[in-house]
Amino acid sequence: TDRKKLHTAPVGQVFRLRPFHVLIATGGGYAGYRKYEDYKLEQLEKKGIEVPVKLASEWEVALYKSVPTRLLSRAWGRLNQVELPTWLRKPVYSLYIWTFGVNMKEAAVEDLHHYRNLSEFFRRKLKPQARPVCCLHSVISPSDGKILNFGQVKNCEVEQVKGVTYSLESFLGPRVCTEELHFSQAPPGNSFQQQLVTKEGNELYHCVIYLAPGDYHCFHSPTDWRVSHRRHFPGSLMSVNPGVARWIKELFCHNERVVLTGDWQYGFFSLTAVGATNVGSIRIYFDQDLRTNSPRYSKGSYNDFSFISNNNKKGIPMRKGEHLGEFNLGSTIVLIFEAPKDFKFHLKAGQKIRFGEALGSL
């Protein structure tokens, strides 16, 4: 008789499922499951066991895209810019160094207290002698990383990893105006790949370099060339680690990317910086107008910017090894270029490479 009345609300008012919450839960859970699967594949590869290719279905890709990676990447970027107390810097950075195997002996400033926030630590510079630039070869690695694939482009398809390809035209977008690049006009019936090759007897080559979170995050010019045009594709920010690249066909065409095109002594040359989860920020040092990972964008859209003008008819000249840009964390660099048939890569798929080391030569 002295019991107090217990007032309860309907279950629907206390716990109301919303579509956004369902997407977050299912998408996040599935992303975690994929990370575990990637880990198992890496362990098999280390043992020398060949893993058969198993591509994601359309619903799996859609489910992965439901994870708000762009929003999370912007939040991560803001968190990186928060200044850490001096006493907290060493423990935080030391944990990151231990987790990803960072070699701080190569850093221009080894004192961890010097870096005010995570963003400064990610963008740390190296000692001048840490990455000597190879002068004997025509193309060098623009960054530290892992070689995922390389070779000739065939049938307008480029390999992400062995056995998984993407469309060359979807990746680069429509061909840039020939007047801007001073290229000869290709016959209209030619394929997209043939239109990029400007000199008779040349072939189109590609090289894919994956930058892990512990790698040096800046990238440099891989050769002496002239940058004429920039094309920015807004898009998803899915992970680009080798496991996901093996799983999602045309992954690089889904993700946000910045395509720099121009020419070198043998014809067409391009360097593409591909964004990834927590890498919403792609910076090109000479391009102050570039803004990546904007809150809103139109699906399938892209925007162009020409470095050719009345006052600057030669574009942006880049010297081999010169600073070109940086990522906020790890990501991927894709080189697609024209060269004579006797061009040879000095690489092995899966090998680790450092900025300045040889990629290939004639």
Cβ contact 316:307 at 8 Å: yes
Cβ contact 196:175 at 8 Å: yes
Cβ contact 346:140 at 8 Å: no
Cα 350 to the center of its chain, rounded Å: 17
Tokens matching residue 198:
């400007």
- What positions carry a catalytic annotation? 144, 220, 331
Residue 320: burial class (beta carbons within 10 Å; 0-12, 13-18, 19+): buried
> Which DSSP string do the residues of 127-181 spell out, in sequence order?
PGGGSPPPSSSSEE-SSSEEEEEEEE-BTTEEEEETTEEEEHHHHH-SPPPHHHH
Among 118, 66, 330, residue whose Cα is nearest residue 211 = 330
Q: What angle do CA 207, 213, 218 make, to 5 degrees?
A: 60
DSSP structure class, residue 275: P
Amino acid identity, position 117: N
Cβ contact 331:274 at 8 Å: yes
Tokens matching residue 59:
């619903």
* Residue owning tokens 């995570």: 118
Q: 143-158: buried (b, 16+ CB within 10 Å) or exposed (e) per residue?
A: bbbbbbbbeebeebeb
